[in-house]
Structure 1
Amino acid sequence: MRILLASRPHPGGVRDPFTSLMPTGLGYLNALLRENGFGSRLANLSGASWRDVEELLRQECPAILGVSVFTHNRFESLRLAALAKKIDPACLTIFGGPHATHAFESILAEHPEVDVVVLGEGEETFLDLARAVARGDRNFDAIAGLAFRQGTRVHHAIRAPVADLDALPLPALHMDDSWGCDVRRQLEFIITSRGCPASCRFCSSPRFWGKALRFRSPRAMVDEIRAIRDRYGLIYFSLRDDTFTVNKERVIDFCRLLLEEKVYILWNCQSRVNAVDEEMLVWMRRAGCECVQYGVESGSERILAYLGKRITPEQVRRAAKSTRRAGINLSIYLITGVPGETDEDLQATLKLINAIRPHDGHVAPLAYYPGTALFDEAVRQGRVSANLFDREREEALYVRNDPFVVHSAETLLRTLHRLGGKARFGPADFATQRELLGYCHGANLAEGEWCEGMGNFGRAEALYREIVERQPGNPWGWLALGGLYGSEGRVERAEKAFGRVISLVPAHVPAYLALGDLRLEAGDRRGAQQRYEEAGRLSPRDPDVGERLQMISGRRGTKKGGP
């Protein structure tokens, strides 16, 4: 029995670095199904034509099609289900994900092309469903976690959350035959917990995961990172938990393991400003954390209260100061277009971001999503229709559409862009960080990069050499040295440094590409092509690899060597 697990973003998100990826939940479903003997396959349909999609469905001929549905891709998902039914009416079409979970009643009532909706996290539910279908049993009454039509009504039953997240198999071990997926880019993103301690009115996460937080152990987290590094060569990761730092002891244990076991990576995470302190941030920086993204949203206490953030501007200032002091880049999320938001509120936000000096930030207008207190309130008050998401086809449905929202978003973005350069760490910051952290490979890399930008290549080389002398097995030091030597034209040294990276992390694709670039600059086209082809065998869907291979075969211009 074939099972196809697919996602297709809204056309506007095809080039977006996040929405063009498959949701991480599909990877867990795929791994669990495979380890239980089912023929499951992942398909990232981002960028594929509908003709390609139809051809894939005909080739796979899945008995079950599982589709991950977010608000932005709700109509693409419906079209995908309808196409599957057109090709094979017996195909069981299953929706899952946040939008499907919170809008299951309208989906099942209005769209016969959808047979079943998995509610909330779906691993155990989907496995039970697959077993029933394999037995030829289409009576799903006994399966908790499903919603489906039963005559003229919609039946649904809630399932308890997965109790032991460590027991779930690793997605990375079951992705090599994925369709349309750049596996390395996909696996950069890791989830290590489920749930969020907050109750923000614009977010559906608490209702999706449940209010109780569940955590993967530090041991399981480090083992997954090592498995991905060894199999796919990744040494940079993005930990996408809603609030990674909510359990201080777990975070410090995770950092301690990374350091003790010499798992040399860089990484970033998301958090809340009231869920960090300096001790934790210092541990994180020493273990390779280079950026924390905080949901700041606004500098106005009135707007923060409306959004249900349960934070204050003073907490934002304290967290930002501790983050910068530890040498971690500060990134913030901001929201505008809140009902009743005025220029006075905008000025409060501008004052706050000027005070904290973020390295970068993101601005989004406030939008409605099913499963949020914000949307429920708007429906009760008659400001929007309960069938808003069926009636309107926009990728995002914003709460306000007026000139102030445009003005506010543009003003905030300009300010963030202006502050970005000024917020960079400088010599005084690096001195403070060294005093606070002691030796730290991430801090050396950041200071070395700054020195290169200032033309102080000798100091940059000394900082990178300190990494490889203290930690000979740290690929980041060799990678930085290779890039520095390549930029200075010291080709032999650069090649040795990149070769050392490959000896430490044999599947590290950027090192192969850098070696190819150096060979090409030296006029050795055959040597360059060999390196690019080695990278292509490791990562056939990597766009950088494809560009190099096209360049070398088309005899176009060269790219400068470096990581």
Structure 2
Amino acid sequence: MQVLLAYKSHHAGARDPFASLLPTGLGYLNGLLRAQGFASRIANLSTMGWREVDALLRRERPTILGISQYTHNRFESLRLVSSAKTADPTCLTVLGGPHATHSFDMILQHHPQVDAVVLGEGEETMLELVRTVAEGNRSLAGIPGLAIREGSGISHSSRAPLRNLDDLPVPARYFDNALGCDLRRQLEFVITSRGCPASCRFCSSPRFWGTSLRLRSPRAMVDEIRYIRDRFGLLSFSLRDDTFTARADRVIEFCRLLTAEGLHILWSCQSRVNCVDEEMLLWMRRAGCEYVQYGVESGSERILARLGKRITPDQVQRAAAATRRAGMDLSIYLIAGVPGEDEEDLRATLRLIEDIRPHDGHVAPLAYYPGTALFAEAVREGRVPADLFEREKGEACFVRKDATVQRSIDRLLTTLARVGRKARFGPADFARQAKLVGWCHAGALAEGGWYEEREEWREAEACYRQITHRQPANPWGWLALGGLHGSVGDLEQSRQMFTRVLELVPAHIPAHLALGDLCLHDGDRRGARRNYEAALTLNPGDVEARERLKELKE
């Protein structure tokens, strides 16, 4: 019996660096099934055309096809189900994910090719489903956490959330047979908790994960990062929890372990402005945190209240200032097109941007999603139909579609870009941060990068040499020196630096690619091929390695 767990983004998402990646949830499902002895395989179909997808399904002929469905890829998911049924009508098709969870009744009513929907957290539900089918039972009735057709209606039940997230297998251990995955990009994203202490009206996370916040232990977090670092060579990570800093003691212990055990990584996270303090931020910077992304959404208290954010502009100001003092870049999310938003509300947000000086920001128009208070209210008041997501064919269903929204977005983006250019740290900032934070490799890299951009090579090298002198086992110092020497034409020194990186982290693909480029510069095509092929062996889906080998053949 073969289980295939698949994802296909919407058309535009195939070119998006985030939307094109597999949802982390599929990795957990795959890991649990494999750990329990089932033949499971994970597949990212985002960059495949439909002919290629159809051929893959005819070749794989899975007994069970599990598909991760978001609002943006709701139609692609349904087409994938139809393709599977065409390839093998006996294939059991199962949807999961946020859109499927909150729209299961509509999906099962209107799309007979979908056999079942996993509701919310899916590991135990999917495991029970697979066991049931493996035992020869095609009836899925009575499985908690599953929605199915029963008679002329739809039955569904809930399942208690997992008590201990540390019991789940590490997904990265089970990517050996993955299809269509660039592991260097995919495994950068790590989840360390489920749930969120907030209840924003535009977000479905509380209904999906439940109201309680469940946290992985710092020990489990560090062990997962170490495994990915050693096995796949990744040195940068993005911790994609809704609110990574919800528990200060956990964050500090995580940072303490990272530092004490010498993992020497760089990382980033998402948080809320009312869930950080200066002590925590200083620990994060010392442990390699580069930047924090905050959901700010608006500078208007009136609009924040409408969105259910439960934060104030004053809290935004304090969190932003503390983040900058700690030496981390400040990134913010903003929302435009909130009903009732007027010129004064927009000006309040523009003023806030000027005051907090974010290094970058993202602006999105407010959209409806199933499972949110915003959508439920709009349906209740008759402003949108209950089957909105069946009728609307776009990736998202925006709350407002008037020209004013786009003008607001343009003004916000223009201000973010202008402020961001001025917000960058300089030598005086680095000096102040060092007094507060102490020396750390993230700070030395940032300062060295500032000098390198200005071609002040000697000063940049001095910053990077601090890392190799203080922490000889830290690959970041050698990696930065390798790039620096390559920039100034000292190719032999560059080669030595990248070789040292591979002595410390043998699976580091960028070092393999850099050494291959240096070989090619010297006319050593065999050496170049050897390094590019080594990178491709480590990550069969690596786009850069594949392109370099292709160019080498041409």
1:80-99 residue pairs with structure 2 within 5 A?
80-99=80-99
User: Residue type matched to 1:426 in 2?
Assistant: G
State how far apart, in whole Å, the 2-side matches of 1:66 and 1:333 are. Answer: 32
Identity in percent: 66
Structure 1: segments with no counterpart, 5+ residues? 555-563
Corresponding residue for 1:286? 286
State how far apart, in whole Å, the 1-side matches of 2:140 and 2:498 are. Answer: 55
Shift of 1:16: 0.5
User: Residue type matched to 2:510 in 1?
Assistant: P
Corresponding residue for 2:6? 6
Shift of 1:537: 1.8
Shift of 1:167: 0.4
Corresponding residue for 1:75? 75
User: Residue type matched to 1:410 in 2?
Assistant: D
The answer to whether the 8 Å contact 2:128/2:143 transfers is yes
Corresponding residue for 1:62? 62
Shift of 1:86: 1.7
Shift of 1:121: 0.7
Corresponding residue for 1:114? 114
Tell me if 1:262 matches 2:262: yes
Shift of 1:490: 1.0
The answer to whether the 8 Å contact 2:141/2:148 transfers is no
User: Residue type matched to 1:72 in 2?
Assistant: H
1:436-455 residue pairs with structure 2 within 5 A?
436-455=436-455
Query: Residue by residue, what CA displacement relative to the aligned partner does 1:449-477 show, whole Å, maximum 9, x if unpaired?
Result: 00111222111111111101111110001
State how far apart, in whole Å, the 2-side matches of 1:3 and 1:453 are. Answer: 49
State how far apart, in whole Å, the 1-side matches of 2:518 and 2:208 are. Answer: 49
State how far apart, in whole Å, the 2-side matches of 1:278 and 1:428 are. Answer: 20
1:13-32 residue pairs with structure 2 within 5 A?
13-32=13-32
The answer to whether the 8 Å contact 2:45/2:180 transfers is yes
Corresponding residue for 2:370? 370
Shift of 1:137: 1.4
**May I ask how many residue pairs the two structures share in their alignment?**
554
Corresponding residue for 1:165? 165
State how far apart, in whole Å, the 2-side matches of 1:543 and 1:83 are. Answer: 27
State how far apart, in whole Å, the 2-side matches of 1:357 and 1:523 are. Answer: 47
Corresponding residue for 1:424? 424
Corresponding residue for 2:187? 187
User: Residue type matched to 2:164 in 1?
Assistant: D
Corresponding residue for 2:272? 272
Tell which deviates more after alignment, 463-472 or 523-532.
523-532
Corresponding residue for 2:328? 328
State how far apart, in whole Å, the 1-side matches of 2:528 and 2:183 are. Answer: 24
Corresponding residue for 2:406? 406
Corresponding residue for 1:132? 132
Shift of 1:530: 2.2
State how far apart, in whole Å, the 2-side matches of 1:80 and 1:19 are. Answer: 17
Shift of 1:429: 0.7
Shift of 1:373: 0.2
- The alignment partner of 1:197 has SS state of coil
State how far apart, in whole Å, the 2-side matches of 1:377 and 1:111 are. Answer: 26
Shift of 1:540: 2.4
The answer to whether the 8 Å contact 1:69/1:100 transfers is yes
- The alignment partner of 1:71 has SS state of coil
Tell me if 1:346 matches 2:361: no
Corresponding residue for 1:239? 239
- The alignment partner of 1:439 has SS state of coil
Corresponding residue for 1:559? none
Taking structure 1 as the reference length, what is the TM-score of the superposition? 0.97
Shift of 1:149: 0.4
User: Residue type matched to 1:256 in 2?
Assistant: R
Corresponding residue for 2:532? 532
State how far apart, in whole Å, the 2-side matches of 1:530 and 1:35 are. Answer: 34
Corresponding residue for 2:314? 314
Query: Residue by residue, what CA displacement relative to the aligned partner does 1:345-392 show, whole Å, maximum 9, x if unpaired?
Result: 111100000111111110000000000000000001110000000111
State how far apart, in whole Å, the 1-side matches of 2:540 and 2:96 are. Answer: 29
User: Residue type matched to 2:472 in 1?
Assistant: P
Shift of 1:520: 2.2
User: Residue type matched to 2:339 in 1?
Assistant: P
Shift of 1:519: 2.1
Tell which deviates more after alignment, 56-65 or 119-128.
56-65
Tell which deviates more after alignment, 55-64 or 209-218.
55-64
Shift of 1:418: 1.3
- The alignment partner of 1:72 has SS state of coil
Corresponding residue for 2:518? 518
Corresponding residue for 1:379? 379
User: Residue type matched to 1:37 in 2?
Assistant: G
Shift of 1:206: 0.3
Query: Residue by residue, what CA displacement relative to the aligned partner does 1:487-534 show, whole Å, maximum 9, x if unpaired?
Result: 111111111110010011000000011111222223333322222222
Shift of 1:41: 0.3
Task: Tell me how large the CA RMSD over aligned residues is.
Answer: 0.9
State how far apart, in whole Å, the 1-side matches of 2:93 and 2:455 are. Answer: 58
- The alignment partner of 1:304 has SS state of helix
- The alignment partner of 2:93 has SS state of strand
Shift of 1:553: 1.8
User: Residue type matched to 2:193 in 1?
Assistant: S
State how far apart, in whole Å, the 2-side matches of 1:526 and 1:228 are. Answer: 29
Shift of 1:139: 2.6
User: Residue type matched to 1:71 in 2?
Assistant: T
User: Residue type matched to 1:492 in 2?
Assistant: E
Shift of 1:226: 0.4
The answer to whether the 8 Å contact 1:176/1:183 transfers is no
State how far apart, in whole Å, the 2-side matches of 1:406 and 1:485 are. Answer: 45
- The alignment partner of 1:244 has SS state of coil
Corresponding residue for 1:51? 51
User: Residue type matched to 1:418 in 2?
Assistant: R
State how far apart, in whole Å, the 1-side matches of 2:464 and 2:230 are. Answer: 23
Shift of 1:209: 0.2
State how far apart, in whole Å, the 1-side matches of 2:47 and 2:235 are. Answer: 27
Shift of 1:268: 0.3
State how far apart, in whole Å, the 1-side matches of 2:499 and 2:60 are. Answer: 41
State how far apart, in whole Å, the 2-side matches of 1:527 and 1:65 are. Answer: 42
1:288-303 residue pairs with structure 2 within 5 A?
288-303=288-303
State how far apart, in whole Å, the 2-side matches of 1:310 and 1:96 are. Answer: 30
Shift of 1:138: 2.3
Query: Residue by residue, what CA displacement relative to the aligned partner does 1:21-72 show, whole Å, maximum 9, x if unpaired?
Result: 0100000000100111110000101021111111111111111000000000
State how far apart, in whole Å, the 2-side matches of 1:257 and 1:157 are. Answer: 40
Tell which deviates more after alignment, 445-454 or 517-526.
517-526
- The alignment partner of 2:5 has SS state of strand
- The alignment partner of 1:89 has SS state of coil
Corresponding residue for 1:465? 465
User: Residue type matched to 1:470 in 2?
Assistant: R
Tell which deviates more after alignment, 380-389 or 136-145.
136-145
Corresponding residue for 1:548? 548
User: Residue type matched to 2:251 in 1?
Assistant: V
State how far apart, in whole Å, the 1-side matches of 2:454 and 2:21 are. Answer: 36
- The alignment partner of 2:54 has SS state of helix
State how far apart, in whole Å, the 2-side matches of 1:366 and 1:531 are. Answer: 46
- The alignment partner of 2:73 has SS state of helix
The answer to whether the 8 Å contact 1:95/1:117 transfers is yes
State how far apart, in whole Å, the 1-side matches of 2:150 and 2:358 are. Answer: 53
Shift of 1:439: 1.1
State how far apart, in whole Å, the 1-side matches of 2:527 and 2:79 are. Answer: 47
State how far apart, in whole Å, the 2-side matches of 1:546 and 1:296 are. Answer: 40
- The alignment partner of 2:335 has SS state of strand
State how far apart, in whole Å, the 1-side matches of 2:476 and 2:506 are. Answer: 14
User: Residue type matched to 2:11 in 1?
Assistant: P
State how far apart, in whole Å, the 1-side matches of 2:179 and 2:391 are. Answer: 32
Structure 2: segments with no counterpart, 5+ residues? none
- The alignment partner of 1:331 has SS state of strand
